[in-house]
A = this chain, B = another copy of it.
Amino acid sequence: MENFTFYAPTYFAFGKDTENETGSYVKRFGGKKVLIHYGGGSVIRSGLLDRVKKSLEAEAIPYVELGGVMPNPRSGLVYEGIDLCRKEQVDFILAVGGGSTIDSAKAIAAGVPYDGDFWDYYQGKVVNEALPIGTVLTISAAGSEGSPDSVITKEEGMYKRGATGEALRAKFTIMNPALTQTLPPFQTACGITDIMAHLYERYLTNTKEVECTDRMIEALMLTMIHEGTRAMEDPDNYEARANIMWAGMMAHNNSCGVGRSQDWTSHDVEHELSALYDCAHGAGLAVVMPAVFTYNLQHDVMRFAKVAVRVWGCQMDFDHPERTAAEGIEALRRFLTSIGMPANFKELGADEKDIERMAHSCCYGDARTGTIGGFVSLDQKDVENIYRLMV
């Protein structure tokens, strides 16, 4: 195991009706003037935004609003939010929504106290200072509610890039699983896929003897397969939604990823797809993951066999472990198809002719230096080959 530090000081309030306590948590964590940041109409239509506002008003905390966050959130709205916060002397950012809204809120929070262009953080500068952030989570997926990460797309060049830093951890996160019961099935499935991807990105490591975190990741994968299937079959099942919501947070707060190298190839390869076609991140990952894993299988057959046996219930083929390894990838593919995810470029709406361009952007775009991948180092040619497996 490698040396590491772990610090996850987010206060989680989990369960039914917890959104009504938002105001008291903002107060507890020192917010005096709030920006409420959100996406489209669903938080308005559901009445959630009103309930959140009411809870702020009950604590006499003033607020301004900025809606309009889109999936694959853009830098344009971030600049707008930074200007608004400075003008209105906002000192606390409250995200009401899913990963896109939270990531956009984090970018604004980092940008307000920063003299330079906030995009610097998305080119590798660590975020050590940001306005305090709170979140009211509406979809189990990105894990941004408990992570120190944010992903934003820059319109100029359509680069989708991530920033990180302890200052980006939310002060508090409100998690009411009931809020996720009304999601369209496609979005629920995208969330399940994203969570599975966060687990695979950590599972695919070159660090030896990390049994504790291996087991934890496997536990969360098993939970997602079981409860994900239940939530798809029975969207109103609160218990399934609750198990998914906690698993989604645990999958990405990094307690199961400490002390080990991680991969993140699938995310990098996917980001090109959602940046170019504006497809849902989860849907992109569903197409990307089996291709990446198949391409990388020979790098560590036993690791792929391990997840196949322990998570997917495959029988170990002791004479031909690579068959078991491949079986596990097939089982993942079947699971993703079963929850309604796309399986190839066509179903995703991607086009073969863009492969070279995407692979180049993935390896060289916006300050990258030619290779990606923490598990297997991949160059542009490799990434092109991976995209071809998805056609």
Within 8 A of B (CB), among A236-273: 239-240, 242-244, 246-247, 250, 255, 258-259
**Chain B residues within 8 Å of A219, by CB:** 212, 215-216, 218-219
Q: In angstroms, how far is the closest chain B Cβ from the Cβ of A35? A: 24
**In whole Å, how far is A43's beta carbon from the nearest beta carbon of chain B?**
21
- Contact digits for A211-228, partner B, Cβ 8 Å, 1 yes 0 no: 111011011101100110
Question: What total of chain A residues lie within 8 Å of the partner, measured CB to CB?
Answer: 44
A226–B210 Cα distance when bound, in Å, is: 12
Give the residue name and chain of the B residue nearest to A3 (CB).
B15
Whether A7 is near chain B, meaning CB under 8 Å from some CB there, is: yes
Chain B residues, CB < 8 A from A6: 11-12, 14
**Which chain B residues border A250 with CB–CB below 8 Å?**
212, 216, 255
Interface centre among A9, A13, A243, A258 (most CB of B within 10 A): A243
Given contact pairs A11-B5, A255-B255, A259-B242, A222 touches B227 in the complex (Cβ within 8 A): no
Give the residue of B5, B15, B223 whose beta carbon is less than 8 angstroms from that of A13.
Answer: B5
* Distance between Cα atoms of A239 and B260 in the complex (Å): 12
A8, CB-defined interface residue at 8 Å? yes
A318 within 8 A of B: no
Q: Which residues of B contact A223 (CB under 8 A)?
A: 211-212, 215
Given A8-B8, A219-B219, A220-B216, the answer on whether A242 and B1 have CB atoms closer than 8 Å is: yes
A243 touches B211 (CB 8 A): yes
CB nearest to A222 among chain B residues = B215
> What are the 10 closest A-B residue pairs judged by CB atoms, nearest first?
A3-B15, A9-B9, A219-B219, A215-B219, A209-B239, A1-B242, A212-B243, A6-B12, A212-B223, A7-B11
**Interchain Cβ contacts under 8 Å between A and B, 30 examples:** A1-B15, A1-B242, A1-B243, A2-B15, A3-B14, A3-B18, A4-B15, A6-B12, A6-B14, A7-B9, A8-B8, A9-B9, A14-B259, A209-B240, A209-B242, A210-B243, A211-B223, A211-B227, A212-B220, A212-B223, A212-B247, A215-B220, A215-B222, A215-B223, A216-B216, A218-B219, A219-B219, A246-B258, A246-B259, A255-B255
